[in-house]
Amino acid sequence: MFRRNHVLNLKKRKKERQANIEEACDKNLKALVHQYITRLLYQASLSFILVELKSFQDMIYGPHLPVLVYNEIRVPLLNKEMDYIEGLLKDHKVQWAKHCCSIISYTWIDRKQRCLINFLVNSHA
């Protein structure tokens, strides 16, 4: 009798248990947050090592969001960002083909030995 009541109580508690935030968060939402973090790092030209600092992890992740790993920023998330940029350029590329435009880039090094890249759009129109 005691065993049966104990099993019923465990089942009842399991049903009543509130889902923790880890279970409740959508995986797509986690991926989106990671993509936004990496986009910030790319746009601000910040070092990827930043994500390995404990202070950064405490600030961004707290106890429930999985930590972003250095190698994720370098390969899969960079590829996703490239796809995102390609999507943004899709309409522009149609216009470039229509108006005979092309992108020109060139690099140079300034006095402080920093490599700079200039992007230009060239059109015959």
pLDDT at residue 55, rounded to an integer: 87
Other C-beta atoms lying within 10 Å of the C-beta of residue 38: 22
pLDDT at residue 40, rounded to an integer: 92
pLDDT at residue 3, rounded to an integer: 53
For the chain, residues with pLDDT lower than 50 are 1-2
pLDDT at residue 20, rounded to an integer: 59
Question: How far, CA to CA in Å, does 44 sit from each of 37, 39, 95, 118, 119?
Answer: 11, 8, 29, 17, 18
Closest CA to 46 of 68, 71, 73: 73
CA distance 95 to 15: 57
pTM value?
Answer: 0.57
Closest CA to 95 of 55, 62, 125, 52: 125
pLDDT at residue 10, rounded to an integer: 53
